[in-house]
Structure 1
Amino acid sequence: MGEPHILIVDDARDIREPLSQYLRKHTFRTSLAADAAQARAAVEQGAVDLVVLDIMMPGEDGLSVCRWLSDRGGPPVILLTAMADDADRVIGLELGADDYVVKPFNPRELLARIRAVLRRAPPAPAKVEGGARSFGPWTHRPDTAQLAHEDGSKLALTSAENRLLGVFLDNPRTVLSRDRLLDVTAGREAKAYDRAIDNQVSRLRRKIEVDPKKPTLLMTEWGGGYRLAANVETAGA
């Protein structure tokens, strides 16, 4: 199941179903949601690599869903927005959305943007090299993309989070520039995108920090990048 899993959230059936068919023809797996409640359930049920999210929906709108996704640490979001929604577009980006597409849109354009966002945070291979490692109160198991806390709780990581955390664990207490992180996680195909790494680090912080606004593990080095401020040790089985 190596194909990226895309969740399409739109109350318009004549948009979400044809878009799903189009993406499936281009090797993606898709799930559909007609409203915010269905979107939340879909994200809770399984790993989603990217969400295509309509802003204007009856009841809870897309911006609220975007905020919820951002608060829980992902996955990446591409907003679908009406031409006149300049303010909503800006708010969505401030909430952590990775990109937006204006309605009516060309499916080929949306496909290109989906691929671009996924290139910035590429899926990790099915088997990640290296065993479990501990840092601070956490143990990272890359093969299952899982974090275990010393209190016994566990968290699932997206493929992008799993890959990014692995880079930090490979380089503890070392300042890693945004350019280096982007190159290591996305490869040479990635285009320069300043917010890409910032968004990924922000999502990871929401999972591993006690207070993401006052991080003690993933530290920002102003003008430099980011640093894992913890020792890393090999963990038992």
Structure 2
Amino acid sequence: MTVAPMVAILDDEPQVRQLLSEVLSDAGFRTATFARAAEFEAALERTAPDACLVDLGLPDRDGLALVHRLALESGAAIIIISGRAQVQDRVTGLELGADDYIIKPFDPVEVVARVRARLRGGRESVAQGASNTAQFAGWTAQLDRFALIAPDGPEIPISQAEAEVLRLFLESPKRLISRTQMQETLGGTAGDSFDRAMDVRISRLRTKLGEDPRNPRLIKTIYGAGYIFLGDVTWS
């Protein structure tokens, strides 16, 4: 029997925790709720959620610092749910590793749709028996483990969202990938918010691959058209 995905909910507002838990449970997810970062982090030692919904206004921990730690150490999809509506807050959250950003007050139906969209890519790849290990330019990408192995040996964690973007590039090397193709493949709503999220994820990938941001060797920006991955790729 297939086990339902687990969603961890971290928010200090009881009404928000209850609402999210109920709507996600009704949609077929398992849920675990936490009011404080300390208990949430303790639970991560015992279980690995598929997705984490994280409020930034926590009483015992800086929410952005927690998001950054999750991005570095967890393969879970990370979705910020926050009352901070400024563009810079959203950009910072994405740059630190979040996969999505939802502003309070929110529509519960939209939260369910965002969680499903974030989990769909990885689960569909596994269900279809897709290869998850690829070699390129001396690097090894282990997409099921959300990890990059550098040519000189060190392992570098990547987030689920970064793994989804990297898989898209690795499956279509030396071909132009337009913004529209990215939106159709990865999900999300076309527009400035989606474009910014893609820019941030690609920037993070370039950094982890040791790319010169002014003259990247592997992930090239074709201005006004999209991106192209220039490496030779071998799947195993």
Amino acid at match of 2:90: L
Query: Residues 131 and 116 of structure 1: is their aligned pair in 2 closer, same or farther, counting only changes over 3 Å?
Result: closer
- Give 5+ residue unaligned stretches, structure 2: none
Query: Residues 54 and 16 of structure 1: is their aligned pair in 2 closer, same or farther, counting only changes over 3 Å?
Result: same
Q: Which moved more, 1:58-67 or 1:223-232?
A: 58-67
Question: What is the aligned-residue identity percentage?
Answer: 29
The equivalent of 2:195 in structure 1 is: 194
Query: Residues 19 and 74 of structure 1: is their aligned pair in 2 closer, same or farther, counting only changes over 3 Å?
Result: closer
Q: Secondary structure at the match of 1:58?
A: coil
Query: Residues 180 and 110 of structure 1: is their aligned pair in 2 closer, same or farther, counting only changes over 3 Å?
Result: same
Contact 1:120 1:182 in 2 (8 A): no
The equivalent of 2:186 in structure 1 is: 185
> How far is the alpha carbon of 1:2 from its aligned partner?
6.4
Q: How does 1:63-212 map to 2 (within 5 A)?
A: 63-69=64-70, 75-81=77-83, 85-86=84-85, 89-95=86-92, 96=94, 98-103=100-105, 109-116=107-114, 118-119=116-117, 122-124=120-122, 125=124, 126-127=126-127, 128-130=129-131, 132-142=133-143, 146-154=147-155, 159-186=160-187, 190-192=188-190, 193-205=194-206, 208-210=208-210
- Count residues in correspondence: 222
> How far is the alpha carbon of 1:99 from its aligned partner?
2.8
Query: Residues 139 and 64 of structure 1: is their aligned pair in 2 closer, same or farther, counting only changes over 3 Å?
Result: closer
Contact 1:80 1:102 in 2 (8 A): yes
Query: Residues 155 and 29 of structure 1: is their aligned pair in 2 closer, same or farther, counting only changes over 3 Å?
Result: farther
CA RMSD in angstroms comes to 3.7
> How far is the alpha carbon of 1:162 from its aligned partner?
3.7
The equivalent of 2:221 in structure 1 is: 220
> How far is the alpha carbon of 1:36 from its aligned partner?
3.4
- Give 5+ residue unaligned stretches, structure 1: none
> How far is the alpha carbon of 1:179 from its aligned partner?
0.9
Q: Secondary structure at the match of 1:6?
A: strand
Partners of 1:56 and 1:131 lie apart in 2 by 36
TM-score by length of 2: 0.70
> How far is the alpha carbon of 1:51 from its aligned partner?
3.1
Contact 2:169 2:229 in 1 (8 A): yes
